[in-house]
Structure 1
């Protein structure tokens, strides 16, 4: 496909945009439809009110019957009042709180979708982009829709209704006004692809900038420690400059064409007036009618000239709707029916092959292994060998392309998602805590737990000592990602959370790898309390920590190359023995040893 074709934006019809709006409104779709109909009727009634100026001026010119003047004044006033009431009725969608309810419901739907969609797909998206989608795009979706649609209807339906009414007074004037619309249509179709491309580029730039800002803000401590804050700030500033460039290019490119559109419409209206003057001079048109047409044309001049600019705002709404619907369209992982529930917790991988969506090669290749229930199984191997992928497949962040994963003989695809989540506790190396209280961060594992149960879990995880030192104890907010706590303290809170959950399967992703000796001892004691009578899976890099495991699986390049107990694997003198010897050599090494050897 050529680059030109790839850059051509997808043009959404107004009918499809209307359907997207109704789908986004959900349960409030009927109310939104009623509001849009009311806006359309208001625009038509307003056009009829403006058309009433013609007979009113004619009555004033003759001045033979004041009753006619009053009649047309009353008719015009009633029509304008009706148009106002209809518009007010339409705006009730916003005034009575339905618009806020739609935005809330839409964000809730997006939140539910985040929980349902495969985490593998979610990991491809930056946090800032999701923030822009959940906040910015949802607000763009409906907050300004009624206002923009109202402006477009006033620019189109009001002149159209007036022109049709004028056909009954003077067919020439009515037809001349109607001819303006065939002029606007090709101009609109000419500009719309550019509008669509510009607004979508702008939406993508906003999402990228939001992600850059969030990443920079969250990473400031690390950036300052690395003396890279300035460098990252330059990258952020580059993103700002790119956003400015896109906006400037969009404005510059639109200035000329928008001027052409406005000029064509203005010239067309002036030609109508010129024709009216000629008809008055020739005696075929009443001067009062011409005066009324002057008023009408003055009223229509700005809305018609800026109609195409109004429609450009629809592109922002359409871009937001497309991003929202694209996220909502991601299907959840398939569920095997009927659902089943295992009666024991042995974990089995059967000929599993898995490749990430963005990867060129599989992370796991024909992997088969059994992890015994109530036993400790260690997964070892170099970085990128597939250890973490095995844990993710067990938690069903994704499904393998070939083979299956089972718990207690039941395919995880046949276990209800909430039941599968309840079976597994995870203690990651990089702990994520929320900006909430200590109590809330632990209790999230089991929301119905009592304070006594939470405290018991914290005691078992050796958390009480540092909780007592916090400014507000249990009710101290921990900051973004638990920034108030040290690494060891965060690990212990994570273990307390897992203890409170009391799941039969526990995954430990090297939880002590980055800790100092004192913290490691405290965390290891907490882990000992956590793993009693559980099916435990340890992802290990330091082999000394898993020497007592019931089974060790050695993984390399996505394949199981060795398995057995520590002493058995050492006796085989294979991959595990080579890694063990290498780690012993690293422990024995001291700074300056190599230099001493060279000098010798």
Structure 2
């Protein structure tokens, strides 16, 4: 985990306010009004408490209830008005504005995830993104008004009382004004440490969330590999690290917090001592001192814990930082004017591409042409750039140099939705959502009828096994399609691609992990999918692509050989050696079995 540096920048409160209003989106006016309302409510409460001074003057030393009644009624009325204002201001929570704001913020984050370059998103762990969408959004909003209300009554109300006290005795009022604002430098002193602590805590929570999700999703693999204990230790290490951060925050904060509380208590004690001296000297009315003692005792605890309330600001700031880190990522640039290809040949021209934080290019001046309605196979060692080539076609990222075109149109000039509509992808590792089979296939074309879905399923050779299931097409497939076999998931994926009916098809070794029977069924489904389309196949098993229109041998980010199967064998180069190696391996296994 990357720890914040000791001198890491702490966001100024003004900037935090600006970010908060920005995150409130359409509810920003309501949130701003609620926060201002809490300030007004605290001010009115300060005026109400200031009424204690003239009220005590009418009661000490000789009670005059007739003179006290107007002040008592005024104080009661101001308290009632303060209560109404605070009740209205905190309505941001209970009227549903906060919930609506959280919904809008999560929706905005979801829309941003759809626009993000997938290369950047693939670098994030699923648990980290989940923590931002759920935890950080809640941290941003859930405690805001409660803490704002506490802070307003810990700071604004005492200052208002002190200002009112100036009217009755300027010495006591001035002393109180010197004590209460002392909170500001004390808060500024502690805020950098609190800010770093909240950042470290947010990162520890994020890492723990990611580890829990990874462990839960990987349990079948971990059990089969007898590694559940080792990975449970990894989660336990996350818990221990989180505990360490929390304990460290408590230990490091205890002494400064004690200092802050002591300073406030001493300040209040100074008000009482000085007031007593002035009463003894006869220059201060004892009623004024009595009222001030009641008031300062009332504020002792809120003032002493003011900086602790302010820690939540840093929690909110840490959440805002995580949210804004996602919202600030710019989508891939779109060339204008937008164009749409009329043909579907694919061309890579002088493509140079490097992944972030790597020095070695993955693709180096790569040139390739894939004619319309042809089948092109990409072969080569792992890490040679085959998958990267298809990702650039789908615009998961853009090359640093060169370009990728479809029908002579740069993919950067094709609107994202239209580009997605042009390409169907069948991955080796199929991802199905925890929904019905019908919904998983229809995902490719949401407006498709049930008959169209079933027609695609028949073409993909999955209608037969689907109808044998208890609920047929309404059967839930489970998390990541876990209730189905690998071959069944693959055929549903192909049915989805057939229903989409895109002119370009990318196949990422779809039969590599299947048994012989499943491979035959999936291959028949693929034959229906690729008919009359521009097809790109990433292949490791060379026997499956011997009939390809062209084979591109990629190594070290470049096309080192190209041609048909027979031509490449006659050339006796890299492809021929790969073919011979696989053929020898197959014969060796056969001999061992005999």
SS in 1 for 2:536: strand
The alpha-carbon deviation at position 463 of structure 1 amounts to 1.0
Structure 2 counterparts to residues 204-223 of structure 1, below 5 A: 204-223=203-222
CA contact (8 A) 1:427 1:511 kept: yes
Count residues with an aligned counterpart.
Answer: 593
State the partner residue of 1:164.
163
State the partner residue of 2:561.
562
**1:325 matches 2:329:** no
Rounded to whole Å, the distance in 2 between the matches of 1:187 and 1:96 is 36
State the partner residue of 1:464.
463
Structure 2 counterparts to residues 356-505 of structure 1, below 5 A: 356-505=355-504
Rounded to whole Å, the distance in 2 between the matches of 1:322 and 1:147 is 21
Structure 2 counterparts to residues 93-492 of structure 1, below 5 A: 93-492=92-491
The alpha-carbon deviation at position 455 of structure 1 amounts to 0.6
The alpha-carbon deviation at position 294 of structure 1 amounts to 1.1
Q: Which moved more, 1:92-101 or 1:409-418?
A: 92-101
Rounded to whole Å, the distance in 2 between the matches of 1:358 and 1:438 is 40
State the partner residue of 1:58.
57
CA contact (8 A) 2:386 2:538 kept: yes
Rounded to whole Å, the distance in 1 between the matches of 2:240 and 2:3 is 25
SS in 2 for 1:555: strand
Rounded to whole Å, the distance in 2 between the matches of 1:303 and 1:5 is 31
Compared with structure 1, are the counterparts of its residues 592 and 319 closer, same or farther at alpha carbon in structure 2 (3 Å cutoff)? same
The alpha-carbon deviation at position 93 of structure 1 amounts to 1.2
Deviations 1:293-327 (A, max 9, x none): 11101111011100111111110000001110110
For structure 2, which runs of at least 5 residues remain unmatched after alignment? none
Rounded to whole Å, the distance in 2 between the matches of 1:592 and 1:186 is 82
State the partner residue of 1:529.
528
The alpha-carbon deviation at position 345 of structure 1 amounts to 0.2
Deviations 1:412-464 (A, max 9, x none): 00000000000000000000000111111110100000000001111111112
Rounded to whole Å, the distance in 2 between the matches of 1:499 and 1:592 is 40
Rounded to whole Å, the distance in 1 between the matches of 2:174 and 2:580 is 93
Q: Which moved more, 1:378-387 or 1:11-20?
A: 11-20
Rounded to whole Å, the distance in 2 between the matches of 1:380 and 1:199 is 49
CA contact (8 A) 1:9 1:196 kept: no
CA contact (8 A) 2:61 2:287 kept: no
For structure 1, which runs of at least 5 residues remain unmatched after alignment? none
State the partner residue of 1:515.
514
CA contact (8 A) 2:460 2:495 kept: yes
Rounded to whole Å, the distance in 2 between the matches of 1:322 and 1:585 is 56
CA contact (8 A) 2:4 2:196 kept: no
TM-score (norm 1): 0.97
The alpha-carbon deviation at position 591 of structure 1 amounts to 8.0
Rounded to whole Å, the distance in 1 between the matches of 2:90 and 2:182 is 31
Compared with structure 1, are the counterparts of its residues 469 and 63 closer, same or farther at alpha carbon in structure 2 (3 Å cutoff)? farther
The alpha-carbon deviation at position 75 of structure 1 amounts to 0.9
SS in 1 for 2:134: helix
Deviations 1:65-94 (A, max 9, x none): 533211101111111111111111111111
Rounded to whole Å, the distance in 2 between the matches of 1:171 and 1:278 is 15
The alpha-carbon deviation at position 358 of structure 1 amounts to 2.6
Rounded to whole Å, the distance in 1 between the matches of 2:35 and 2:298 is 23
Q: Which moved more, 1:512-521 or 1:31-40?
A: 31-40
The alpha-carbon deviation at position 183 of structure 1 amounts to 2.6
CA contact (8 A) 2:4 2:199 kept: no
The alpha-carbon deviation at position 592 of structure 1 amounts to 8.1
Compared with structure 1, are the counterparts of its residues 54 and 12 closer, same or farther at alpha carbon in structure 2 (3 Å cutoff)? same
SS in 1 for 2:497: helix
State the partner residue of 1:29.
28
CA contact (8 A) 1:59 1:65 kept: yes
Compared with structure 1, are the counterparts of its residues 5 and 219 closer, same or farther at alpha carbon in structure 2 (3 Å cutoff)? closer
Deviations 1:11-68 (A, max 9, x none): 1111111111110011111111111110110111111111110001111126575332
SS in 1 for 2:164: helix
SS in 2 for 1:360: coil
The alpha-carbon deviation at position 4 of structure 1 amounts to 11
State the partner residue of 1:45.
44
Structure 2 counterparts to residues 73-84 of structure 1, below 5 A: 73-84=72-83
CA contact (8 A) 2:3 2:200 kept: no
Q: Which moved more, 1:188-197 or 1:486-495?
A: 188-197
Rounded to whole Å, the distance in 1 between the matches of 2:49 and 2:454 is 74
SS in 2 for 1:167: helix
